[in-house]
Amino acid sequence: MNKRSIVQDLGVEKSGCGYCGGNKQVVSDKRGEQNVSSSKHTVSKRNRPKTRVAHGMWAHQLTVEDYEELMTRGWRRSGKYVYRPDNAESCCQQFAIRLDVENFVPSKSQRRVLKRMERVSSSFDKDYDVERSQQVSVSQEDGNETRDYVLEDIRNCLCRLVQETVCEEASLWGWKVWRNSKNVSKLGKYSSNLILVLAERRANESMEDSVNREYLATETDAKQKRQVAFSRWKDYYTSILKDAAKNMFADLHIDCTITSNGFINFWKQDDSGNQNGTRVTKKKDAMQPSHGIKKEQVATRNSRLHIKLELPKLEDESFLLFQRYQQAVHNESPTENSKESFSRFLVDTPLIFVEPKGDRTTPSCGFGTFHMKYYLDERLIAVGVVDVLPHYLSSVYFFYDPSYGKFSLGVYSALQEIEWVRMQSLQGYSAMQYYCMGFYIHDCPKMRYKGEYFPSQLRCEVTGQWIQLEVARTILNKHNGRALRLAPDDFPIDEYYLVVPCERVFSLLSTYDKERYRRLWHEALVKVPLWFHGKLLVLDNLKQSLNDKLSLHIQSVLLSYIGKVGPQLSTRMIYVL
């Protein structure tokens, strides 16, 4: 049982809604189509009507595989409480949302957030004022400013280039970028020895292997073989980086060439596109490749900003930061957030931790719940609570120092978490594909930001399919912001991941599908593992010690549970009676 999921069904629960404040109520017309009536009266937090409906479970423990399947079926956790909104009865419909990271394209505003944090984290100017960084004017006479901005930009982009093309060498910092003197400026205003250092490193590694295998007979052979290895690796990295470097620097108004001797030379263009480097007067762009985002953790060698991924634990530093955030952003007094409630919400987790195996079957951190901590000059400024699952990175909660609110840390953290997913694939764990931000509420302004990460998908309640956000929005707008079926009419049902959370969804299925799912539920009913009085049983064993009335009641409860988690998952997770 140590490696199996164990859950306790809490049934349908109603509560006040934190999004609309209970000012919306669900009504149905004669055709059964749902609409929402809104009240103009503000309802106090204590007196909110219970218009939010969800099915809840207490998860004693969950395998990461089972929780991922629950999430794919529309479930979500808060601490050890796992719940699934009833979108037919709730005032605010909550749709599971996920982002396909491989196809993610950052928006202009998101790149601007990255640029701001790059300025803040710059190692050479700790007092950098972001507000005055929007317009940069660099002239030939102001060599210091040119060196600071352009050289650092090139270094940052080369870091990115290494990450995306030869990620095994991502930890390498021996290469340099320098400004050329006037007598060699025809080669470029700036140069880098990146390729030479990469080739040198690989050549040395291959020589060590050869020596260990006693392949070399003489010192002369060693020198010759080393030179051959160095030359081959130089040619290899030149071919790998040549096109990638040109594409990456194109949007930055920087031209680059890779010479035959392995140097990368750069020219900073002016507004007219000249390569003489005499004057640059323009709004400075974020150093971003056209197809991705910057990995700030490795932006500069001496970056002031550091991000650490740790297993969750209750620490005063994180707790006090959480209190300040809740007070400033959510108007909660410190007395409303105790250490115990903080621990239940953001430290306690039902997920069974899986240690990294050192191969491509797990990410480098393993699976489970983690705290992603952001430090600026060794000061904790933000914490992101995330669940690392086989195919998902799920963002559970994020809180930050309110004094850094102007830097849009929520957007920045989301971009960092998206980048983390992408880097896992580059580093060998290719199964990681999606970034999950919980639930999306179409008519809630607070939730709009979740739709700004393109291309996101929403889960359709009726088909179980994931629908492109723009398609789903069109359907929601067509039905006054409220609909259970987000998929177009010709979309089939996902037979594996479809769940039936309520009678309203069940009524929208075809007669054939209704009969098929009833049959699957009853087949699963006799296989659900039950924990009863310290014993692991199935329903047939349990019936022997129960009267008919109680037996029928348990059977009814189990069928409802199977319909909400799915027949396959219900036979794996242990159900506590």
The better pLDDT of the pair 517, 5 is held by: 5
Q: Characterize the bridge pairing of strands 434-440 and 392-400.
A: parallel
Task: Write down the mean pLDDT value for the chain.
Answer: 81
To the nearest 5 percent, what fractions of the chain are helix, strand and coil?
A: 40, 25, 35
Helical axes 152-165 vs 219-250, angle rounded to 10°: 110
Helical axes 409-426 vs 152-165, angle rounded to 10°: 40
Least confident among 154-168, 200-214, 289-303, 417-431: 289-303
Q: Which residues contact 213 (CB under 8 A, 6 or more apart)?
A: none
| pLDDT one-digit tens code per residue, 552-576 | 999 999 999 999 999 999 999 999 9
| pLDDT band at residue 26 under the 50/70/90 scheme | low
- In contact, 136 and 283? CB cutoff 8 Å: yes
**DSSP assigned state of 481:** T
| pLDDT one-digit tens code per residue, 516-529 | 889 999 999 999 99
Report the predicted TM-score, pTM, of the whole model to 2 decimal places. Answer: 0.70
Report the alpha-carbon distance of residue 273 to residue 518 in Å, rounded. Answer: 68
Report the alpha-carbon distance of residue 398 to residue 401 in Å, rounded. Answer: 11
| pLDDT band at residue 268 under the 50/70/90 scheme | confident
**DSSP assigned state of 577:** -
Predicted local distance difference test score (pLDDT) of residue 191: 83
Report the alpha-carbon distance of residue 269 to residue 281 in Å, rounded. Answer: 10
Predicted local distance difference test score (pLDDT) of residue 217: 46
Predicted local distance difference test score (pLDDT) of residue 211: 41
Least confident among 17-26, 229-238, 533-542: 17-26
Closest CA to 103 of 418, 348, 460, 352: 418
Average pLDDT for 203-223: 54
Which stretch of DSSP H or E encloses residue 466? strand 466-468
Average pLDDT for 303-318: 93
Q: Which residues contact 414 (CB under 8 A, 6 or more apart)?
A: 395, 398, 435, 437, 453
- pLDDT surpasses 90 at 532: yes
Q: Which residues contact 483 (CB under 8 A, 6 or more apart)?
A: 93, 475, 476
- How far are the Cα atoms of 242, 293, 308, 425, 466 from residue 470, in angstroms, in the given order? 37, 22, 35, 27, 12
Predicted local distance difference test score (pLDDT) of residue 289: 36
The better pLDDT of the pair 495, 572 is held by: 572
Query: Whole-angstrom distance between the N-terminal and C-terminal Cα of the chain?
Result: 16
Report the alpha-carbon distance of residue 51 to residue 237 in Å, rounded. Answer: 61
Q: Which residues contact 323 (CB under 8 A, 6 or more apart)?
A: 334, 337, 342
- Cα–Cα–Cα angle for 426, 346, 434, rounded to 5 degrees: 30
Predicted local distance difference test score (pLDDT) of residue 203: 77
| pLDDT one-digit tens code per residue, 317-375 | 999 999 999 999 999 988 899 999 999 999 999 999 999 988 889 999 999 999 999 99
Report the alpha-carbon distance of residue 49 to residue 270 in Å, rounded. Answer: 62
| pLDDT one-digit tens code per residue, 117-132 | 888 886 444 444 433 4
Least confident among 56-65, 209-218, 502-511: 209-218
Report the alpha-carbon distance of residue 246 to residue 267 in Å, rounded. Answer: 12
Amino acid residing at 49: P
Give the max Cα distance, the chain.
Answer: 97
- In contact, 123 and 300? CB cutoff 8 Å: yes
- pLDDT surpasses 50 at 137: no
Q: Characterize the bridge pairing of strands 530-532 and 574-576.
A: parallel
- How far are the Cα atoms of 322, 324, 329, 330, 337 from residue 333, in angstroms, in the given order? 11, 9, 11, 9, 7
Structure tokens at 248: 């990456």
Report the alpha-carbon distance of residue 430 to residue 101 in Å, rounded. Answer: 12
Query: What sign results for the dihedral spanned by CA atoms 51, 54, 58, 61?
Result: negative
**DSSP assigned state of 285:** P
Report the alpha-carbon distance of residue 310 to residue 337 in Å, rounded. Answer: 23
In 269-367, at which residue ranges do the beta strands (DSSP E only) sit?
A: 279-282, 305-310
**DSSP assigned state of 43:** P
Report the alpha-carbon distance of residue 245 to residue 94 in Å, rounded. Answer: 43
- Give the CA radius of gyration of the chain: 28
Least confident among 200-209, 322-331, 481-490, 528-537: 200-209
Structure tokens at 249: 């620097």
Predicted local distance difference test score (pLDDT) of residue 206: 62
Residues facing residue 434 across a β-bridge: 100, 392
Burial class of 71 by CB neighbour count within 10 A (0 to 12, 13 to 18, 19+): buried
Average pLDDT for 266-295: 43
- pLDDT surpasses 70 at 54: yes
